[in-house]
Amino acid sequence: MYATRNFNWRRLNGDKLNSDLKSAVVDTIIKEKALGNRLKVCIGTDSLQRSSIVEFATVIVFLREKKGGFMFISNEKSKQLMSLKERMITEVAMSVEVAYALCDILDDHNVELEVHADINTDPGFRSNVALKEAMGYIVSMGFVFKAKPDAFASSSCADKCI
């Protein structure tokens, strides 16, 4: 799965990245560190079912300690209908795929990484049906896991980009 998906990354203003994702992330880290900023990266995906199409948005949020942040965004559409649980796990898989591709770079530059899942920890919400599987998947890959209400990369940032 890690080599097959084709993410098309852009900035919030719509500008496409001028290089491949890894190069763009390295350049971003170097630039931000040169400006004296300490970074943390949060990766998350959200989706929305519209008729027979599922739209996904994956974001890489760069947080500057005490100085705001910015993000890279990738959108994707699927014509495959999915149950809610399957959609939640697909969101997590997309986020893990990006985190896996970037984790060595982030480790080399001492940048913290979190993977955010748009899944509610409250059993009263339907998305909770995928919580255990999502947490197990993310943690077993060695990443820090965050779910709602702490998963802002997926539940706020990616949500606004669908």
Q: What is the pLDDT along the chain (162 residues), one digit of tens a residue?
A: 344 466 899 999 999 998 999 999 999 999 999 999 999 999 999 999 998 899 999 999 999 999 999 999 999 999 988 999 999 999 999 999 999 999 999 999 999 999 999 999 999 999 999 999 999 999 999 999 999 999 999 999 999 999
**Does any domain span residue 4?**
no
**How far is it, in rounded angstroms, from Cα 156 to Cα 44?**
9
**Does any domain span residue 2?**
no
**Does any domain span residue 15?**
yes
**Does any domain span residue 48?**
yes
**Does any domain span residue 151?**
yes
Identify the H or E element spanning 136: helix 131-140
**Does any domain span residue 149?**
yes
Give the residue numbers spanning the domain of 70.
9-161
**Does any domain span residue 34?**
yes
**For residues 45 and 92, is the Cβ–Cβ distance under 8 A?**
yes
Per-residue b or e along 137-153, where b marks 16 or more CB atoms closer than 10 Å to that residue's CB: bbeeeebebbbbeebbb
Structural domain count, the chain? 1
Answer yes or no: pTM beyond 0.75.
yes
**How far is it, in rounded angstroms, from Cα 101 to Cα 88?**
20
Report the pLDDT value the prediction gives residue 84, as an integer from 0 to 100: 93
Report the pLDDT value the prediction gives residue 99, as an integer from 0 to 100: 98
Report in angstroms the alpha-carbon separations of 36 from 30, 39, 43, 66, 109. Answer: 10, 10, 22, 12, 14
Report the pLDDT value the prediction gives residue 18, as an integer from 0 to 100: 87
HSE-CB for 32 with a 13 A CA cutoff: 22
**Does any domain span residue 75?**
yes
